[in-house]
Structure 1
Amino acid sequence: MIEENPHDSESLKKVSGLYKDWFLDYASYVILDRAIPSVYDGFKPVQRRIMHSMRELEDGRYNKVANIVGNTMKYHPHGDASITDAMVQIGQKELLIDTQGNWGNIYTGDSAAAARYIEARLTPFALEVVFNPKTTEWAKSYDGRNNEPIDLPVKFPLLLAQGVEGIGVGLSTKILPHNFNELINASISYLKGKKFELYPDFITAGFLDVSEYNDGQRGGKVRARARITQTDKHTLVISELPYSKTTSDLIDSILKANEKGKIKIKKIEDNTSDSVEILIHLHNDVSPDKTIDALYAFTDCQVTISPNACVIVGDKPMFLNVSEILRMNTDHTVSLLKKELEIELHELQENWHFSSLERIFIENRIYHDIEEVKTWEEVLKTIDKGLKPHTKHLLRAVTEEDILRLTEIRIKRISRFDLNKFKENIAALEGKIEQVKHNLDHLITYAVSYYQNIQKKYGKDRQRRTELRIFDTIDATKVAVANEKFYANFEEGFIGTSLKKDQYLFDCSDIDDIITFRKDGSMKVVKVEPKTFIGKDLLHVAIWKKNDKRTVYNTIYREGKEGPYYMKRFSVTAVTRNTDYHLASDKKGSEFLYFSANPNGEAEKVTILLKPNPRIRKNKMDVDFSELGIKGRDTKGNLVTKYAVKKVDLKEEGVSTLAPRKIWFDDTVRRLNADGRGSLLGNFKGDDRILTVNTNGEAKLVSFDLGNRFDDDYLILEKWKPRQPITCIYYDADKEMYFIKRFLLENTPNVQTFMPSEHPKSFIENVIAANNATAEIVFAKDKGKEREPETVNIDEFIAVKGIKAIGNQFTKFKVKAINITIPETEEEEEPEPEEEPETNGNIDDEGGMIGDLFES
Structure 2
Amino acid sequence: MNQEEQIIRTEYSELMQKSYIDYAMSVIIARALPDVRDGLKPVQRRTLYDMYELGIRYDKPYRKCARIVGDTMGKYHPHGDSSIYDALVVMAQDFKKGLPLVDGHGNFGSIEGDGAAAMRYTEARLQKITQEAYLADLDKDVVNFVPNFDETEKEPEVLPVKVPNLLLNGAEGIAVGMTTSIPPHNFGEVIDGVIAYMKDPDINTEQMMQYIPGPDFPTGGIVANKDELLAVYSTGMGKIKIRGKVEVEKGKGGKDRLVITEIPYTMIGANIGKFLNDIYSLVETKKTSDIVDITNQSSKEGIRIVLELKKGADVENLKNLLYKKTKLEDTFGVNMLAVADGKPETMGIVPIIRHHVNFQYELATRKYQTLLAKERDKKEIQEGLIKATDVIDLIIEILRGSKNVKDARACLTDGITDNINFKSEQSKRDAAKLRFTERQTTAILEMRLQKLIGLELEALLKDHDETLKNISKYEDILGSRAAMAKVIIKELESFKKEYAKPRKTVIDNLEEAVVEEKKIEEMDVVFLMDRFGYAKTVDVATYERNKEAANTENRYILTCKNTDKICIFTNKGQMHLLKVLDLPYGKFRDKGTPIDNLSNYNSSEENFVYITNLAAISRSQVLFGTKSAMLKVVDGSEFDVAKRTTAATKLNEGDELIFVQALALEETLVMQSEKDFFLRIDISSIPEKKKGAVGVRGMKLGAGDALAAIYLLNAEDVVNIEVKGKEVALNRLRTAGRDTKGTKR
TM-score range, shorter chain: 0.5 to 0.7
Structure 1 residues 530 and 273, CA, compared in 2 at 3 Å: closer, same or farther? Answer: farther
In structure 2, C-alpha distance between the alignment counterparts of 1:169 and 1:317, rounded to whole Å: 11
Instruction: Tell me what 1:220 maps to.
Output: 238
More relative contact order, 1 or 2 (CA 8 Å, 6+ apart): 2
Counterpart residue type for residue 100 of structure 1: H
**TM-superposition CA deviations, 1:90-144 (whole Å, max 9, x none):** 11124311222221112x1211111122211111111111112221211111122
CA contact (8 A) 1:370 1:383 kept: no
SS at match of 2:400: coil
CA contact (8 A) 2:414 2:436 kept: no
Structure 1 residues 482 and 40, CA, compared in 2 at 3 Å: closer, same or farther? Answer: farther
CA contact (8 A) 1:361 1:387 kept: no
1:70, CA displacement in angstroms?
Answer: 1.2
1:292, CA displacement in angstroms?
Answer: 0.5
Q: C-alpha root-mean-square deviation of aligned residues, in Å?
A: 3.4
In structure 2, C-alpha distance between the alignment counterparts of 1:486 and 1:422, rounded to whole Å: 103
Q: Which moved more, 1:348-357 or 1:404-413?
A: 404-413
Taking structure 2 as the reference length, the TM-score comes to 0.61
**Aligned pair partner of 1:357 in 384, 394, 401:** 384
CA contact (8 A) 1:262 1:481 kept: no
Match status 1:170 vs 2:177: yes
Counterpart residue type for residue 355 of structure 1: Q
Largest Rg, 1 or 2 = 2
**TM-superposition CA deviations, 1:621-660 (whole Å, max 9, x none):** xxxxxxxxxxxxxxxxxxxxxxxxxxxxxxxxxxxxxxxx
Unaligned 5+ segments in structure 2 are 418-428, 526-556, 566-577, 580-612, 621-640, 642-745
Q: Which moved more, 1:291-300 or 1:357-366?
A: 357-366
Match status 1:43 vs 2:40: yes
Structure 1 residues 427 and 485, CA, compared in 2 at 3 Å: closer, same or farther? Answer: farther
1:221, CA displacement in angstroms?
Answer: 1.1
**Aligned pair partner of 1:32 in 29, 36, 41:** 29
Structure 1 residues 236 and 463, CA, compared in 2 at 3 Å: closer, same or farther? Answer: same
1:282, CA displacement in angstroms?
Answer: 2.5
Instruction: Tell me what 1:400 maps to.
Output: 438
1:14, CA displacement in angstroms?
Answer: 4.2
In structure 1, C-alpha distance between the alignment counterparts of 2:113 and 2:247, rounded to whole Å: 23
Instruction: Tell me what 2:262 maps to.
Output: 240
In structure 2, C-alpha distance between the alignment counterparts of 1:285 and 1:111, rounded to whole Å: 41
**Aligned pair partner of 1:427 in 442, 465, 477:** 465
**Aligned pair partner of 1:118 in 115, 119, 122:** 122
Counterpart residue type for residue 266 of structure 1: V
CA contact (8 A) 1:486 1:506 kept: no
1:300, CA displacement in angstroms?
Answer: 0.2
Match status 1:102 vs 2:107: yes
Instruction: Tell me what 1:453 maps to.
Output: 494
1:345, CA displacement in angstroms?
Answer: 2.2
Instruction: Tell me what 1:54 maps to.
Output: 51
Structure 1 residues 189 and 487, CA, compared in 2 at 3 Å: closer, same or farther? Answer: farther
**Aligned pair partner of 1:270 in 266, 287, 296:** 296
Taking structure 1 as the reference length, the TM-score comes to 0.53
**TM-superposition CA deviations, 1:553-600 (whole Å, max 9, x none):** xxxxxxxxxxxxxxxxxxxxxxxxx9xxxxxxxxxxxxxxxxxxxxxx
Counterpart residue type for residue 227 of structure 2: S
**Aligned pair partner of 1:207 in 213, 216, 222:** 222
**TM-superposition CA deviations, 1:15-58 (whole Å, max 9, x none):** 32331222112111111111000000111000001100110122
SS at match of 1:464: coil
1:367, CA displacement in angstroms?
Answer: 2.4
Counterpart residue type for residue 272 of structure 1: S
In structure 2, C-alpha distance between the alignment counterparts of 1:398 and 1:331, rounded to whole Å: 41
After superposition, residues 670-681 of structure 1 pair within 5 angstroms as none
In structure 2, C-alpha distance between the alignment counterparts of 1:505 and 1:262, rounded to whole Å: 14
Counterpart residue type for residue 173 of structure 2: G
1:363, CA displacement in angstroms?
Answer: 1.8
After superposition, residues 827-846 of structure 1 pair within 5 angstroms as none
Instruction: Tell me what 1:302 maps to.
Output: 329
Counterpart residue type for residue 332 of structure 1: F
SS at match of 2:18: helix
Instruction: Tell me what 2:559 maps to.
Output: 501
1:259, CA displacement in angstroms?
Answer: 3.7
In structure 2, C-alpha distance between the alignment counterparts of 1:61 and 1:202, rounded to whole Å: 30
Match status 1:19 vs 2:77: no
CA contact (8 A) 1:215 1:323 kept: no
Counterpart residue type for residue 367 of structure 1: I
**TM-superposition CA deviations, 1:777-811 (whole Å, max 9, x none):** xxxxxxxxxxxxxxxxxxxxxxxxxxxxxxxxxxx
CA contact (8 A) 1:84 1:115 kept: yes
1:211, CA displacement in angstroms?
Answer: 2.3
In structure 1, C-alpha distance between the alignment counterparts of 2:617 and 2:476, rounded to whole Å: 86
Instruction: Tell me what 1:146 maps to.
Output: 153
CA contact (8 A) 2:167 2:185 kept: yes
Instruction: Tell me what 2:186 maps to.
Output: 179
Higher helix share: 2
1:244, CA displacement in angstroms?
Answer: 1.8
Structure 1 residues 413 and 330, CA, compared in 2 at 3 Å: closer, same or farther? Answer: same
In structure 2, C-alpha distance between the alignment counterparts of 1:190 and 1:229, rounded to whole Å: 38
In structure 1, C-alpha distance between the alignment counterparts of 2:49 and 2:416, rounded to whole Å: 45
Give the share of equivalent positions with the same residue, in percent: 28
SS at match of 2:103: strand
CA contact (8 A) 2:294 2:305 kept: yes
Structure 1 residues 482 and 19, CA, compared in 2 at 3 Å: closer, same or farther? Answer: farther
Unaligned 5+ segments in structure 1 are 1-6, 391-396, 489-498, 511-528, 537-577, 579-856
Structure 1 residues 41 and 218, CA, compared in 2 at 3 Å: closer, same or farther? Answer: closer
Counterpart residue type for residue 447 of structure 2: I
SS at match of 1:211: helix
**Aligned pair partner of 2:410 in 381, 387, 396:** 381
CA contact (8 A) 1:177 1:200 kept: yes
SS at match of 1:84: helix
1:215, CA displacement in angstroms?
Answer: 3.8
In structure 2, C-alpha distance between the alignment counterparts of 1:124 and 1:158, rounded to whole Å: 15
After superposition, residues 409-428 of structure 1 pair within 5 angstroms as 409-414=447-452, 418-428=456-466
After superposition, residues 801-816 of structure 1 pair within 5 angstroms as none
> How many residues in Structure 1 have an aligned counterpart in Structure 2?
491
Higher strand share: 1
